[in-house]
């Protein structure tokens, strides 16, 4: 079973993992299934090309510069930046670190075991420290972003919509009916991919036949049109929406350079009552929280 103590050797035997953020994220989630904060922190090391330092003569000046880059680019505290360096280079790859880096750990104020055990908590890093978003937070922001839909759709009063939104694309409308427990279980299993339970979803939109769906958890958006791709809010750089002659589109640009383009049909935006720019606006708001 993988652990921090064996991770370095495993990565060196499988160097492709050190070049692919998604694969590395999967490995880290296996090691820390309940601790998304540690996973997010360690992925910042990947973003700063920390693996290029393995096997080199590490100086305090060099590592101090790296710590400053992590602080400036990701908005974390200096203590967290040093923790990232200490963990990757000192613990995982067993490099000899200067004294200023060798034994530093994260501040207790930045993380608690209780938070790590709470699967209903998302952790995003901001210049002011760490902000934890609950499912209720995400749901509130989402429905505020969709006030236009709430005002105009006769079935979409805030209490009627709830978490589950079943869309009838033929009539450009939203069903007032609910969704039965079997359908809910199937959708959660498909969208959650073993990482999320029903209580972790703030919102799910689906076609009535469930062939196309997308959902918002406390820290990610999951989209079946992208082969059930899960995109953490914290990984989003920015989102653009474009008006088209036949269809509107939304482009999600991630911090690692990946780009995904989706149209209103894939996201089941109903032109009569809402449009894909509503969702783009929400993602641009939530990624900053």
Q: What is the mean pLDDT of residues 25-30?
A: 87
**Model pLDDT, residue 127:** 37
Q: Please tell me the distance from the alpha carbon of residue 152 to that of residue 54, in angstroms, as a whole number.
A: 57
Per the CB < 8 A criterion, the answer to whether 143 and 113 are in contact is no
Distance of CA 257 to the CA centre of its chain: 15
Higher-scoring residue by pLDDT: 155, 261: 261
Interval 104-146: pLDDT, tens: 433 333 333 333 333 233 333 333 333 446 777 777 777 666 5
User: Which residues contact residue 231 at a Cβ distance below 8 angstroms, ignoring those fewer than 6 apart?
Assistant: 220, 221, 222, 223, 252, 254, 260
Q: What strands, in cross-sheet order, belong to the sheet with 259-263?
A: 236-242, 249-254, 259-263
Instruction: Compute the mean pLDDT over every residue in the chain, rounded to the nearest whole number.
Output: 74
* Fold designation for 134-286: PH-domain like (2.30.29)
Percent of the chain with pLDDT over 70: 72
Interval 196-230: pLDDT, tens: 888 888 888 887 777 788 888 888 888 888 877 88
Nearest to 4 by CA among 123, 99, 90, 100: 90
pLDDT higher than 70, residue 172: no
Helix (H, G, I), strand (E, B) or coil at 228: coil
Domains in the chain: boundaries: 4-117, 134-286
Per the CB < 8 A criterion, the answer to whether 40 and 123 are in contact is yes
Percent of the chain with pLDDT over 90: 6
**Model pLDDT, residue 174:** 52
**CB hemisphere CA count around 87 (13 angstroms):** 21
Pairing, β 236-242 against β 249-254: antiparallel
């Amino acid at each position: 079973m993988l652990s921090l103590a064996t991770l370095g050797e495993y990565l060196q035997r499988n160097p492709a993992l050190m070049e692919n953020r998604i694969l590395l994220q999967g490995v880290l989630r296996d090691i820390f299934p309940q601790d998304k904060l540690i996973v997010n922190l360690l992925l910042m090391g990947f973003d700063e090309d920390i693996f290029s330092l393995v096997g080199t003569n590490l100086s305090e000046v060099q590592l101090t510069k790296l710590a400053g880059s992590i602080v400036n680019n990701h908005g974390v505290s200096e203590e967290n930046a040093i923790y990232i360096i200490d963990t990757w280079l000192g613990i995982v790859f067993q490099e000899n670190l200067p004294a200023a880096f060798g034994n530093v750990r994260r501040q207790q104020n930045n993380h608690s075991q209780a938070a790590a055990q709470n699967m209903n908590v998302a952790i995003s890093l901001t210049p002011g420290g760490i902000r934890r978003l609950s499912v209720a937070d995400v749901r509130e922001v989402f429905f505020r972003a969709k006030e236009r839909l709430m005002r105009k759709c006769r079935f979409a009063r805030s209490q009627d919509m709830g978490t589950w939104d079943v869309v009838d694309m033929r009539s450009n409308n939203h069903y007032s009916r609910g969704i039965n427990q079997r359908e809910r279980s199937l959708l959660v299993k498909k969208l959650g991919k073993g990482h999320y339970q029903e209580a972790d979803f703030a919102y799910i939109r689906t076609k009535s036949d469930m062939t196309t769906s997308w959902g918002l958890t406390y820290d990610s958006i999951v989209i079946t049109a992208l082969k059930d791709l899960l995109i953490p809010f914290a990984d989003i750089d920015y989102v653009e929406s474009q008006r088209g002659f036949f269809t509107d589109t939304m482009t999600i640009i991630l911090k690692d350079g990946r780009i995904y383009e989706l149209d209103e049909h894939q996201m089941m935006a109903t032109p009569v009552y809402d449009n894909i720019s509503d969702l783009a606006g929400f993602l641009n708001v939530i990624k900053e929280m």
